[in-house]
Amino acid sequence: MNQVGRAAFRPLDPEVREDPYPIYARLRREHPMAWATTPASGYLGFWFVSRYHDVVAGLKDNRFGRELAKVFPPDAFPPIPDEHKPLYGMIANWMLFKDPPDHARLRRIAAPVFTLRTVTAMRPRLEELVAAALARLPASGTVDIVSDFSSPLSIDIVSDLLGVPERDHPLIRGWVREITLALDLVRTPERILAGSARARELIEYFRGLVAAHKRGTGVTLMDLLVQARADGEYLTDDELLASSVFFLFAGHEASSLLIGNGLKALAANPAQYAAFRDGRVPAKALVSELMRYDSPQQIAFRHALEDLEFRGTRIRKGQTIGFGLGAANRDPDVFPDPDRLDLARDDSRHLAFGIGIHTCAGSNLANLEAEIVFSELAKRLPELKVVGHERQESILVRGLTKLFVEVG
Ligand code: HEM
């Protein structure tokens, strides 16, 4: 055991939450394999990897995986209380938590929806949804851009992709909000109960939606999922429901957080914002740099599927390892002057979408969505004035629960 790295990282400490980057810099230099502890009950700690090249190597290493059930006998886990089962049952079939071969099967089914070509064709509809979300903002005053714009918009976009009728978007937003709280590492028993109840309702809703999508009648993500089942891809009913719901969750939170993180970074760098607003920086370059600079998903978690050694550290079978995407994205060995927001950086090697078999399936959509959002916001808010924020408490993601911006 590498004692030097022990207890070197406490991701939930308030100062880490507000600004983890100086701590990441120290870890990259002194403890590239650090032991991270959290006060959350049931979490024993995890290895934290902070150097870019180590994160890349680890996420491509098939000795790390997601399915703990393959490592431990079934009775090693405490039984799930009945009232929590809808929540945990829902996530059990998510591709993100599957290793090969199940992972490849689940992922392949939806791939045609996310090619660059298909996503590019979605532009007019995305522009429509962004315009509708902007139209809901008041003409002047202070708005919370997270609750009033980025969060509902991101949920609407993926609901649309799944064929949820527009009239039901508010319903979906409410479910997603409560379930997200129940799935966070920091959560209360009440939140788990409430999330579980909402998960049951959401699954029932999607059951109805699946039934309404007849084979071969459309080209939405939901049609593809339904067709995959019918075409004998061996997508079971439970997997079909789980996959459709998974896209809702995989697709909305990071997209929403990127908008908050990005606006906050741009407000602190007015000359760069002006350069973008005045057309001197392409939207693609802006989005790539914002993804790198303050990445919505900070850590990609895996478990050691066997006893192994990684970067000189012995890791026991079943131990958790967190690959620091946010830390890697500030590694000076790859990104010169990494703590500077530099919209002219023109370097797309960031790991905000992860890497390896689980690399974000929706990255083309996420990039296009962000390009449209920031371009439209720059027109609507030529002077960006941020007047306050509240930060999310999470280990996995980094972002704001509120960002107050002056409009008008
Ligand atoms: C700013 C926006 C986004 C960011 C930063 C982001 C980031 C990520 C990351 C880091 C992973 C890998 C997690 C891991 O390896 O543990 C991931 C996976 C995934 N993302 Fe995204 N994502 C974004 C938006 C989206 C959107 C819009 C969709 C689809 C509607 C999407 C669908 C997925 C899916 C399906 C996976 C699982 C892939 C797999 O397990 O093979 N994401 N995302």
**255 C-beta closer than 6 A to ligand 1:** yes
**Which atom belonging to ligand 1 lies closest to the Cα atom of 158?**
30
Mean pLDDT of 315-342: 97
Predicted confidence at residue 6, as pLDDT, reads 57
Name the residue at shortest CA distance from atom 30 of ligand 1.
251
Cβ neighbour number for residue 372 with a 10 Å cutoff: 19
Predicted confidence at residue 35, as pLDDT, reads 93
Ligand 1 mean position to 362 CA, how many Å? 6
**300 C-beta closer than 6 A to ligand 1:** yes
If pLDDT is split at 50, 70 and 90, which confidence band does 218 have?
low
235 pLDDT higher than 80? no
Ligand 1 mean position to 151 CA, how many Å? 16
167 pLDDT higher than 50? yes
Mean pLDDT of 100-110: 89
Q: Of the ranges 130-139, 176-185, 201-210, which one carries the lowest mean pLDDT score?
A: 176-185
Ligand 1 mean position to 249 CA, how many Å? 9
**258 C-beta closer than 6 A to ligand 1:** yes
Radius of gyration of the chain (CA): 21
160 pLDDT higher than 70? yes
- The pLDDT tens digits of the residues spanning 173-203 come to 889 888 988 887 667 888 899 999 999 999 9
Cβ neighbour number for residue 208 with a 10 Å cutoff: 8
DSSP annotation string for 245-295: HHHHHHHHHHHHHHHHHHHHHHHT-HHHHHHHHTTSS-HHHHHHHHHHHT-
- Strands annotated E in 297-377: 299-304, 308-310, 313-315, 320-324
Mean pLDDT of 226-250: 80
- The pLDDT tens digits of the residues spanning 276-299 come to 999 999 999 999 999 999 999 999
Residue 299's beta-bridge partner residues? 324
The runs of H, that is alpha helices, within 184-236 are 189-212, 221-230
The runs of H, that is alpha helices, within 318-406 are 325-328, 363-380
4 pLDDT higher than 50? no
- CB–CB of 37/8 below 8 Å? no
226 pLDDT higher than 90? no
Query: Looking at the annotation, which residues are catalytic?
Result: 250, 253, 255, 360, 369
Name the residue at shortest CA distance from atom 1 of ligand 1.
255
Do β-strands 46-49 and 320-324 pair in parallel, antiparallel, or remain unpaired?
parallel
Ligand 1 mean position to 253 CA, how many Å? 10
**Which atom belonging to ligand 1 lies closest to the Cα atom of 154?**
27
Predicted confidence at residue 352, as pLDDT, reads 98
**Which atom belonging to ligand 1 lies closest to the Cα atom of 103?**
41
Mean pLDDT of 334-342: 98
Name the residue at shortest CA distance from atom 35 of ligand 1.
361
Using CA atoms of 252, 257, 260, 262 in order, give the dihedral in degrees to the nearest 10: -110
Residue 324's beta-bridge partner residues? 299
The runs of H, that is alpha helices, within 111-168 are 116-121, 123-135, 145, 151-161
Query: In order of start, what are the domains of the chain with their CATH numbers?
Result: 3-407 (1.10.630.10)
Predicted confidence at residue 3, as pLDDT, reads 41
11 pLDDT higher than 60? yes
73 pLDDT higher than 90? no
81 pLDDT higher than 90? no
Mean pLDDT of 337-355: 95
Ligand 1 mean position to 369 CA, how many Å? 14
Residue 389's beta-bridge partner residues? 403
- CB–CB of 333/348 below 8 Å? no
Nearest to 261 by CA among 87, 111, 401: 401
Predicted confidence at residue 1, as pLDDT, reads 43
Nearest to 162 by CA among 367, 374, 362, 376: 362
- % of the chain residues with pLDDT over 70: 94
Task: Please tell me the distance from the alpha carbon of residue 11 to that of residue 150, in angstroms, as a whole number.
Answer: 25
Pocket test for ligand 1, best of 151, 353, 357, 367 (most atoms within 8 A of CB): 353
Task: Please tell me the distance from the alpha carbon of residue 108 to that of residue 114, in angstroms, as a whole number.
Answer: 11
- CB–CB of 86/334 below 8 Å? no
Task: Please tell me the distance from the alpha carbon of residue 318 to that of residue 302, in angstroms, as a whole number.
Answer: 9
Task: Please tell me the distance from the alpha carbon of residue 31 to that of residue 11, in angstroms, as a whole number.
Answer: 14
